[in-house]
Structure 1
Amino acid sequence: MEKVVVTKKKDSFAVILKKLIRHALLIIFCFIMAFPFLWMFFSAIKTKNEIWQFPPTLLPAVPQWGNFADAFKSAPFGLYIFNSTFTSLIIVLIQVINSAMIAYALTNLKFPGKKILFGIIMATYMMPVAATYLPSYVILSKFNMIDTYKGIIISNSVSVFGIFLIRQAFMQIKREMVEAALIDGASHFRILCQIMIPIAKSSFITLVLMNFIGNYNNYLWPSLIIKDPNKYLVTMGLRQFFIEGGAYGIKWPQIMAASTFTIAPLLIVFFITQKWFMSGISDTGVKG
Structure 2
Amino acid sequence: MIKTPILVIKHLILIFISIMMIFPFFWMVVSALKTKEEIFHFPPTLWPEKPMWNQFSEAWSMAPFDHYILNSVFTAVIIIFIQVLNSALIAYAFTQMRFRGRNFLFSIILITYMLPVAATYVPSYVILADFNLLDSYKGLILSNAVSVFGIFLFRQAFLQVPKELIEAARVDGAKHWTIIWRIILPITKETFITFALISFVQNYNNYLWPTLITTSESKYLITTGLRQFFIQEGAYGIQWPLIMAASTFAVLPLLLLFVFIQKWIISGISDQGLKG
- Matches of 2:181 and 2:118, distance apart in 1: 35
Question: SS at 1:263's partner residue?
Answer: helix
The 5-angstrom pairing of residues 25-174 of structure 1 reads 25-174=13-162
Counterpart residue identity of residue 67, structure 1: Q
Counterpart residue identity of residue 95, structure 2: T
- Residue 3 (structure 1) aligns with: none
What percentage of aligned pairs have identical amino acids? 55
Deviation at 1:282, TM superposition (A): 5.4
Is the contact made by 1:147 and 1:226 (CA closer than 8 Å) also made in structure 2?
A: yes
Any gaps of 5 or more consecutive residues in structure 2? none
- 1:280 counterpart (258, 269, 273): 269
Is the contact made by 2:186 and 2:275 (CA closer than 8 Å) also made in structure 1?
A: no
- Residue 23 (structure 1) aligns with: 11
Counterpart residue identity of residue 198, structure 1: P
Deviation at 1:283, TM superposition (A): 2.4
- Matches of 1:204 and 1:281, distance apart in 2: 14
1:267 aligns with 2:241: no
Q: Deviations over 1:102-147 (max 9, x none)?
A: 0111111111111111111111100110111111111111110011
- Matches of 2:7 and 2:263, distance apart in 1: 23
- 1:166/1:281 Cα in 2 relative to 1: closer, same or farther (>3 Å)? farther
CA RMSD of aligned residues (A): 1.4
1:217 aligns with 2:196: no
Is the contact made by 2:60 and 2:246 (CA closer than 8 Å) also made in structure 1?
A: yes
Is the contact made by 1:238 and 1:259 (CA closer than 8 Å) also made in structure 2?
A: yes
Deviation at 1:271, TM superposition (A): 2.2
Deviation at 1:276, TM superposition (A): 4.2
- 1:182 counterpart (160, 167, 170): 170
Deviation at 1:59, TM superposition (A): 1.1
Counterpart residue identity of residue 272, structure 2: D
- Matches of 2:32 and 2:3, distance apart in 1: 43
- Matches of 1:281 and 1:193, distance apart in 2: 20
Counterpart residue identity of residue 212, structure 1: F
- 1:196 counterpart (180, 184, 193): 184
- 1:240 counterpart (203, 228, 233): 228
Counterpart residue identity of residue 94, structure 2: L
- For these two proteins, the number of residue pairs brought into alignment is 275
Using structure 2 for the length normalisation, give the TM-score. 0.96
Counterpart residue identity of residue 243, structure 1: I
- Residue 216 (structure 2) aligns with: 228
Is the contact made by 1:242 and 1:255 (CA closer than 8 Å) also made in structure 2?
A: yes
Q: Deviations over 1:134-172 (max 9, x none)?
A: 111111111100110100100000000011111111111
Structure 1: which 4+ aligned runs deviate by more than 2 Å?
271-284
Deviation at 1:34, TM superposition (A): 1.0
Using structure 1 for the length normalisation, give the TM-score. 0.92
Is the contact made by 2:65 and 2:249 (CA closer than 8 Å) also made in structure 1?
A: no
Question: SS at 1:260's partner residue?
Answer: helix
- Matches of 1:165 and 1:272, distance apart in 2: 24
Is the contact made by 1:199 and 1:281 (CA closer than 8 Å) also made in structure 2?
A: no
- Matches of 1:122 and 1:284, distance apart in 2: 30
Deviation at 1:268, TM superposition (A): 2.1
- Matches of 1:15 and 1:140, distance apart in 2: 59
Counterpart residue identity of residue 57, structure 1: T
Is the contact made by 2:187 and 2:275 (CA closer than 8 Å) also made in structure 1?
A: no
Any gaps of 5 or more consecutive residues in structure 1? 1-10
Deviation at 1:195, TM superposition (A): 1.3
Counterpart residue identity of residue 65, structure 2: F
Is the contact made by 1:88 and 1:216 (CA closer than 8 Å) also made in structure 2?
A: yes
